[in-house]
Amino acid sequence: MSALFRFEPGNSAVLLSVPHVGTGVPDALAARLTPAAAVLPDTDWHVDRLYDGAAALGIGLLSATHSRYVIDLNRDPANRPLYPGQETSGLCPQFTFDGEAIYRAEAPFAEAEVAERLDRYWRPYHAKLAAELAALKARHGFALLIDAHSIRSQLPRLFKGRLPDFNFGTVRATSAANALAVKLFQPLEAAMGMSAVRDGRFIGGYITRHYGAPAEGIHAVQLEIAQIAYMEEKPPFRYRPDCAAKVKPVLRQMLEAAVAWAPQAAQAS
């Protein structure tokens, strides 16, 4: 892989991060994957296509090019668990979301391999993310990060039942100003024929938790979309334009609310 990430700058205070859409796997690593893992079932398939109107709104985009099986950009670099006591995947996952082995040899990684992946893939993405948020804050007085994800609607190993279509996370109302979170959640909650929850099973991953600091002028939210709402959840994971046509206008409303929001306006209201 040549590029470690894709970046398209915007002119608003909003940045869209898409850390799990990548499918690149180095050849040496791909040779170690099991057949179950080789199809990359835990990818956030096509989620960036749902936000293809972001650029027209002046929203910047940072997206990964490599698979989360190489290293998970939305996990703590020290590999501390996101949800203690619950099943979750780690920094360099060993098992798929279905519990199948990712590698033909299941021996734990040597620390040197994890460190190399951190340096090669994880740190550049986060360096760019941090730099762009700092630049947005310097330019606009604040920055808003939307961390975009998707996941299969049913994964018994990770959660019970079927996920709502929109899973909006604010780390239990700590990663963004509440007035902002309310504005962003409104179109999701009001979407006809679709379901939404705030701070349910997914409250926000490492990116939302680490960068969201509303007292310092940086607000972060995560949106996890159930893949059944816009695609086929089994290989070859086809995008469903007919279904996506119902999702994209809702996301457009959320993005418009993000671009229109400003801390000063919230304080004056």
pLDDT at residue 267 tops 60: no
Distance CA 149, CA 105 (A): 29
The pLDDT of residue 86 is 72
pLDDT at residue 127 tops 80: yes
Which SS3 state, helix, strand or coil, does residue 268 take?
Answer: helix
Averaged pLDDT for residues 47-63: 97
pLDDT band at residue 90 under the 50/70/90 scheme = confident
The pLDDT of residue 265 is 54
The pLDDT of residue 24 is 97
Helix (H) / strand (E) element for 37: namely helix 35-38
The pLDDT of residue 1 is 44
Residues 226-243: tens digit of each pLDDT: 999 999 999 999 999 999
Q: Which residues pair with 225 in a beta bridge?
A: 150, 166
pLDDT band at residue 269 under the 50/70/90 scheme = very low
Average predicted confidence (pLDDT) for the chain: 94
Domain count, the chain: 1
The angle, 0 to 180 degrees and rounded to 10, between the axes of the packed helices 241-260 and 178-190 is: 150
Query: What would the two tokens of residue 3 be?
Result: 């590029």
Residues 171-194: tens digit of each pLDDT: 999 999 999 999 999 999 999 999
Q: Which residues pair with 150 in a beta bridge?
A: 225
pLDDT at residue 106 tops 70: no
Q: What is the DSSP pairing of strand 60-64 with strand 14-18?
A: parallel
Distance CA 89, CA 102 (A): 12
The helix, strand and coil proportions of the chain, stated in percent and rounded to the nearest 5, come to 35, 20, 45
- Which residue, among 221, 216, 215, has the nearest Cα to 173 in the 3D structure? 221
- Percent of the chain at pLDDT > 70 equals 95
Q: What is the DSSP pairing of strand 14-18 with strand 143-151?
A: parallel
pLDDT at residue 150 tops 50: yes
The pLDDT of residue 220 is 98
The pLDDT of residue 83 is 77
CATH number of the domain bearing residue 26: 3.40.630.40
Q: What is the pTM of this model?
A: 0.94
Residue 99: alpha-carbon gap to chain centroid: 21
Range of 145's domain? 5-268
93-107, 157-171, 244-258: least confident range: 93-107
Averaged pLDDT for residues 55-64: 98
Residues 10-42: tens digit of each pLDDT: 999 999 999 999 999 999 999 999 999 999 999
Distance CA 52, CA 72 (A): 23
